[in-house]
Structure 1
């Protein structure tokens, strides 16, 4: 493989040695195949795209959506195979993978690989990673991160022509077999809003609708939305959503909806059900795009929740690890907190790091905006700080530590929480999603306790409108709302702590050469019209692991210096971006390729002195 690009390579790269694709194996077996066990031999003659994903990862969900149109256009030649490779303990449960495949509308075969067997065979280092295998069973490309589907489609077209001429291309239907549909009033609901009249509005995520329920939380009053993916305004039957999530009641009585996969905010009139798009272009925001401006002209990225705080709407922008705000009066949006780097860093809002913020709630006294920061398994908050805002952490330590542990906040653990709810006494309830629990954090005592267990992927909760100390929880994987009485005493739970099961990469102390491998796809070149076309940001947890080499630069190769004793462990955070454009055409299309890696490392005298990370291409060592 060529070294990471610092200048545009020739448009016709040298032919690489052919590498046979390793077999696809996983202890969890296959989904979406009608019970059949697939093998690469069974896929011979097809162009196979292997998608390494895990369902907690927002970037993986972006890639699932990027692949949909390619799958449809090339349905007779291409087979996409998902390899589910878990980060969290909950994601290794087979039932949870089955749920996720339905929840996110995955319409291709999926291999459940809870022990990361295939991940290791393909030397994958990041979620998501896409590997392209030609009809003869050889690996021809590898891409980490988002934004690569355009390049992959160009490669698919080349492979179709090449193997069609050779007679090695097999056309026809693929091995996908859809599961039987299940009839329930809700299907993987996401968020819930208590309505002024005592009812509830629920985002019925998988069915792309909003559902209004009566005060009992069960009786369906009406549905808003046609029930099919799309971005269309109009009345209750004409409007279309795409996996909607967060809901917020505005001061004027209107409801704001985080329409996640449409990358948009929608406003719904509760009296008529009329829906209007108020923010977002329908396209996903990428690095380099404006991070503020007129709301309808500025792209968003997977808004997951919304809340009205400090005279504006705050948006949990899960797709770029930030919090944005929307001002309904001026019709503008802006990035308010977070740098787009993924991690857990407190401080002034513009310097903080988040990791997929997914739940928002305003404290009972209106002074804090609570944040469920899901990928760091953390509870955080935003508060005013002079003329601006600051970000603080109540519970959580970083990207790779999680579990179920009560007690002092500095020792407590969550597992991928998605929802937060402010309680009247000033404490906050946390939907600890992957622990199937409702937890409580009390700022007055600094203690975390467990309120309820045996829930199934709780994703949001609201206080019951009537008095009585009850809370209504969205049990997303049980497709229902569940009413609970807030207990006076905590539930006793045996403490469990986990770290991600990804093996640490052994690296030598001292100088380590970081190589981000990127080669523009065929027919494209690096886009240098407006300055450097690449960017690399490097940091570490703990920070002292990195003695030299931290910070941002424009080269995709960097020497860093690691400090620590033999056996010391940490995480290298590497964020890379490359911009390319088509070589032909008066107005060439531009493409952004980006990925964040969190690489667990262990210092060892026998460790490697080079760490290659493939953004696009194949590393040849």
Structure 2
């Protein structure tokens, strides 16, 4: 057996008030989680880790090792924001320069390393969906070792108490704003000046249909609207929800609440097919197109049927016919009526699909999973960094999320920075005169005047956090 390498003493820790060592956890089982916070597969593993923590917390310590893929993911404050966004409640080591990653010979996100109470590595397992296997191995270690039960507590990062928490997407329509208040698990409807019209959801994560006050969502993201029906990508629930704005009710129209483990193209009855982190929606006629971020595909919902529309399920960047094309965590979608435009976040590129020929092409940035940066230019000369949303309004507008910018692709194909100094903006929506921006890590919605490029934060004086309005 191989003894688990000790952590370097020159790395930063979060969710704890001092550096930790493996040695101090002798006598307990330790599970290391190697991750990076923009990776959908890593995000999918967080509920599994929470389950294992809650079940075995008196004998098990989970330590997350954050080894950044993108340059932006190296910043300590950005990692802190991700810890809060995903409600991580165990220590996180900031693994700059992949020191710990290399010492454990890790090759993929996520990877889990199980360490026994004597400090020896039991196994290393890559990939998401490993909860049952890890649970079984942990139970075997508990049975084979005498472990003194003890719950450990850590000084966790503090969740922001603000009217909005990590708003993911925003939709401007008919003088109204629809805001996915993702960190509060609800949808906020307001005027474009900030007057609150309705709040949909209790503010607690769950999958509950019914009236606005009783409904529950889980980290909702993208939305699209058709008359009085608002469709919501309920990302954490792996579901599509329909909000009737007249009846003031919510119902589930696609998904089972369970995450799909199938990566090849498939489909069926909408309420019987498991989905995989739907992130954004665009409705054209009777078809709702879905960026299925967890499956690296585009899907199509029509009536009570849902199916893969484009993408093999491979996490990659391949153009061509929709059946053979590949995407990587598509997270934003828009249309000009003839084409779909997709923010393909893990390839840091903008892709398009011609709805007549069903051909996919890359129109800006990208090339592969590691071609990212911050360069204005045309086509492949331009560089983005983990772009999460896109909007068509004369030009194409992009939330260049990890560069903290809004960029514009003009009619000549030139991609240019328009707005700086945001903090991981994740959502954007346009009217004829303004852009509305979900400035996610700043917990605000901003309004950009397209004529003057003046940008202001919208104030919501009558909006408060659920724990303030409805303390538990």
Superposition TM-score, scaled by structure 2 size: 0.92
The offset of 1:324, in angstroms, is 0.5
Contact 1:66/1:149 (8 A) holds in 2: yes
**Cα distance between partner residues in 1 of 2:116 and 2:392:** 53
Matching of residue 408 in structure 1 with residue 378 in structure 2: yes
* Partner of residue 30, structure 1: 13
* Partner of residue 279, structure 1: 254
* Partner of residue 223, structure 1: 199
Matching of residue 342 in structure 1 with residue 315 in structure 2: yes
Matching of residue 483 in structure 1 with residue 447 in structure 2: yes
* Partner of residue 246, structure 1: 222
* Partner of residue 420, structure 1: 390
The offset of 1:28, in angstroms, is 4.9
After TM superposition, the structure 1 = structure 2 runs for residues 74-89 of structure 1, keeping only pairs within 5 Å, are 74-89=56-71
SS in 2 for 1:297: coil
SS in 1 for 2:260: coil
Contact 2:288/2:300 (8 A) holds in 1: yes
SS in 2 for 1:261: helix
The offset of 1:271, in angstroms, is 2.9
Contact 2:188/2:200 (8 A) holds in 1: yes
CA gap of 1:412–1:140, structure 2 versus 1, over 3 A, is same
Contact 1:360/1:419 (8 A) holds in 2: yes
**Cα distance between partner residues in 2 of 1:399 and 1:26:** 31
**Cα distance between partner residues in 1 of 2:435 and 2:161:** 26
* Partner of residue 180, structure 1: 158
Query: Deviation string for 1:109-156 (max 9, x for gaps)?
Result: 111112211111111111100010111111101110012110110111
**Cα distance between partner residues in 1 of 2:253 and 2:9:** 44
* Partner of residue 170, structure 2: 192
SS in 2 for 1:135: coil
Q: Which has the larger radius of gyration?
A: 1
| Structure 1: gaps (5+ residues) | 1-17, 490-621
* Partner of residue 232, structure 1: 208
SS in 1 for 2:323: helix
The offset of 1:287, in angstroms, is 2.4
The offset of 1:337, in angstroms, is 0.2
* Partner of residue 434, structure 1: 402
Among candidates 136, 140, 145, match of residue 163 of structure 1: 145
Contact 1:26/1:117 (8 A) holds in 2: no
SS in 1 for 2:237: coil
**Cα distance between partner residues in 1 of 2:36 and 2:402:** 13
RMSD of Structure 2 on Structure 1 (CA): 1.8
Matching of residue 375 in structure 1 with residue 346 in structure 2: yes
Contact 1:109/1:175 (8 A) holds in 2: no
* Partner of residue 394, structure 1: 363
Among candidates 470, 474, 477, match of residue 438 of structure 2: 474
**Cα distance between partner residues in 2 of 1:30 and 1:37:** 6
* Partner of residue 265, structure 1: 240
**Cα distance between partner residues in 2 of 1:182 and 1:264:** 27
Contact 1:186/1:479 (8 A) holds in 2: yes
* Partner of residue 19, structure 1: 2
* Partner of residue 291, structure 2: 316
After TM superposition, the structure 1 stretch with the greater mean CA deviation from structure 2, 184-193 or 288-297, is 288-297
Matching of residue 355 in structure 1 with residue 328 in structure 2: yes
The offset of 1:178, in angstroms, is 2.9
After TM superposition, the structure 1 = structure 2 runs for residues 2-151 of structure 1, keeping only pairs within 5 Å, are 18-25=1-8, 28-33=11-16, 35-151=17-133
**Cα distance between partner residues in 2 of 1:310 and 1:344:** 28
The offset of 1:43, in angstroms, is 1.5
Contact 2:265/2:313 (8 A) holds in 1: no
Greater fraction of residues in helix: 2
The offset of 1:253, in angstroms, is 2.4
Among candidates 182, 199, 202, match of residue 179 of structure 2: 202
The offset of 1:384, in angstroms, is 2.0
| Structure 2: gaps (5+ residues) | 454-472
- Structure possessing the higher relative contact order (Cα contacts under 8 Å, 6 or more residues apart): 1
**Cα distance between partner residues in 1 of 2:265 and 2:273:** 7
SS in 1 for 2:160: coil
After TM superposition, the structure 1 = structure 2 runs for residues 497-536 of structure 1, keeping only pairs within 5 Å, are none
SS in 2 for 1:430: strand
Contact 1:93/1:114 (8 A) holds in 2: no
Give every structure 1 segment of 4 or more consecutive aligned residues whose post-TM-superposition deviation is greater than 6 Å: none
**Cα distance between partner residues in 2 of 1:348 and 1:342:** 16
* Partner of residue 611, structure 1: none
Query: Deviation string for 1:447-473 (max 9, x for gaps)?
Result: 111111111111111124xx5x22111
Contact 2:210/2:250 (8 A) holds in 1: yes
Among candidates 298, 308, 315, match of residue 273 of structure 2: 298
* Partner of residue 468, structure 2: none
